[in-house]
Amino acid sequence: MTLLGIDTSGKTASVALCTEDKVLAQTTVYTSLTHSQVILPICNDVLKNAGVELSDVDGIAVAMGPGSYTGLRIGIAAVKAICFAQNKPCIGISTLEGLANNVSLHKGMICAVMTARLDLVYCAVFESDGCKVKRLTGDEILPLEELKAKLEQYSGTIAVVGDAADKLEGENFIIAPPHLKLQLATGLCSAAFDKELSTPDKLDAAYLQITKAEKDLQG
């Protein structure tokens, strides 16, 4: 199976083309531009550089959240448009699960943690056997101190990945290196190979907290 992975959930815009045993191409850009300006050109470049036509891709994996509201909407809208036009299946992957797959080589616990707002973080805990990543907790939004207390229940060294990784300090934590710390589309593809693809009409974002528009309506 050949999957195209697209992640627009954070500061990086990342696209990868992967089979189950090979990364055919990947481009990741830390960008100040909006993802709508860069993501489709990156997709075209990745496919061109790999010598693969979009028609030959079996499906598309996309980050469905948590993350930037605008970024997630851009990525999901792009994937829906491509899949409807090409009659392709797709799948939404948790941004945190994608991050955990970046460091799947670590045998033991993995905590994926991203900045949410104020002292809150998006987080989830996983376990890896050095290859496959298994989820231990659901995606949550927690105060940083509550996450730290929660991680005390786990023994051994915990690999920490995500843009808030540096906020977890201590001898029990290993912080992912810069080239693996942020979102990578290869991580999404790795997670997607163990899941069933679906139709684009079922694809939706999982924000974990209400949007500004919803807050304004409640106010």
Q: Are residues 112 and 152 in the same domain?
A: yes
Instruction: Quote the tokens at residue 185.
Output: 């589309």
In which region does residue 164 sit, left (phi positive, over 0), alpha (psi from -120 to 50) or beta (all else)?
alpha
Domain count, the chain: 2
Indicate if 177 and 189 belong to the same structural domain. no
Q: Are residues 84 and 131 in the same domain?
A: no
* Residue 187 shares a structural domain with residue 83: yes
The enclosing domain of 58 has a CATH number of: 3.30.420.40
The answer on 72 and 36 residing in a single domain is yes
**Does 196 lie in the same domain as 91?**
yes
* Claim to verify: residue 68 and residue 35 sit in the same structural domain: yes
Same domain, 31 and 63: yes
Q: Which domain holds residue 115?
A: 103-181
pTM of this prediction?
0.94
Model confidence band, residue 217 (pLDDT cutoffs 50, 70, 90): very low
HEC string for the chain = CCEEEEECCCCEEEEEEEECCEEEEEEEEECCCCHHHHHHHHHHHHHHHHCCCHHHCCEEEEEEECCCHHHHHHHHHHHHHHHHHHCCCEEEEEHHHHHHHHCCCCEEEEEEEEEEECCEEEEEEEEEECCCEEECCCCEEEEHHHHHHHHCCCCCCEEEECCCHHHCCCCCEEECCHHHHCCCHHHHHHHHCCCCCECHHHCCCCCCCCCHHHHHHHC
Q: Same domain, yes or no, for 160 and 85?
A: no
- CATH number for the domain spanning 161: value is 3.30.420.200
Band (pLDDT 50/70/90 cuts) for residue 163 is very high
At residue 34 the predicted structure's pLDDT band, cuts being 50, 70 and 90, is: confident
Pairing of strands 158-161, 173-175: parallel
- d(C-alpha 103, C-alpha 135), whole Å: 14
If asked whether residues 175 and 193 sit together in one domain, one would say no
Q: What's the rounded Cα separation, in Å, for the pair 164 and 197?
A: 30
| Rg, the chain, Cα only | 17
Model confidence at 120, pLDDT cuts 50, 70, 90, reads: very high
Kindly report, residue by residue over 172-213, the tens digit of the pLDDT. 999 999 999 999 999 999 999 999 999 999 999 999 986 554
Identity of the amino acid at 138: G
